[in-house]
Amino acid sequence: MRAFQVTEYGKTPEMNEVDLPQPGPGELRLKVAACGLNFADLLMVTGEYQERPPLPFTLGMEISGIVDALGEGVAGPAPGTRVGAFGGRGGLADYAVVPADRCLPLADTMSFEEAAAFPVAYGTSHVALSHRARLASGETLLVLGAAGGVGLTAVEIGKLMGARVIACARGAAKLQVAKAAGADHLIDSDAQDIRQAVKDLGGCDVVYDPVGGDQFMAALRATRPEGRLITIGFASGEVPQIPSNLLLVKNLTAIGFYWGGYMAFRPQVVTDSLAQLYRWHAQGRLHPHISHRLPLERAAEGMELLRSRKSTGKVVITP
pLDDT score recorded for residue 264: 83
CATH 3.90.180.10 residue ranges of the chain are 2-118+288-318
Burial 279-294 (b: 16+ CB within 10 A, else e): ebbeeeebebbbbbbb
CATH architecture of 2-118+288-318: Alpha-Beta Complex (3.90)
pLDDT score recorded for residue 275: 87
The percent of residues in the chain predicted with pLDDT above 70, rounded, is 100
The more confident residue out of 165 and 309 is 165
pLDDT score recorded for residue 240: 93
Which residues does 255 contact at the CB level (< 8 Å), separation at least 6? 128, 132, 133, 228, 229, 230, 231
Q: Is the pLDDT of residue 110 over 90?
A: yes
pLDDT score recorded for residue 24: 96
pLDDT score recorded for residue 260: 85
CATH 3.40.50.720 residue ranges of the chain are 121-260
Q: Which tens digit of pLDDT belongs to each residue from 167-206? A: 999 999 999 999 999 999 999 999 999 999 999 999 999 9
CA angle centred on 10, ends 8 and 11, rounded to 5°: 60
Overall fold of domain 121-260 = Rossmann fold (3.40.50)
CB 26 within 8 Å of CB 102: no
How do 223-231 and 204-209 pair as beta strands? parallel
CB 119 within 8 Å of CB 62: yes
Q: Which tens digit of pLDDT belongs to each residue from 247-281? A: 999 999 999 999 988 988 898 999 899 889 999 99
Dihedral over Cα of 53, 59, 64, 67: its sign: negative
CA angle centred on 50, ends 69 and 189, rounded to 5°: 110
| Global confidence as pTM | 0.88
Radius of gyration of the chain (CA): 19
pLDDT score recorded for residue 265: 87
CB 290 within 8 Å of CB 317: no
Q: Which tens digit of pLDDT belongs to each residue from 130-151? A: 999 999 999 999 999 999 999 9
Mean pLDDT of the chain: 95
pLDDT band at residue 88 under the 50/70/90 scheme: confident
Distances in whole angstroms, Cα of residue 27 to Cα of each of 87, 96, 98, 99, 303: 10, 10, 6, 4, 27
CA distance 194 to 177: 19
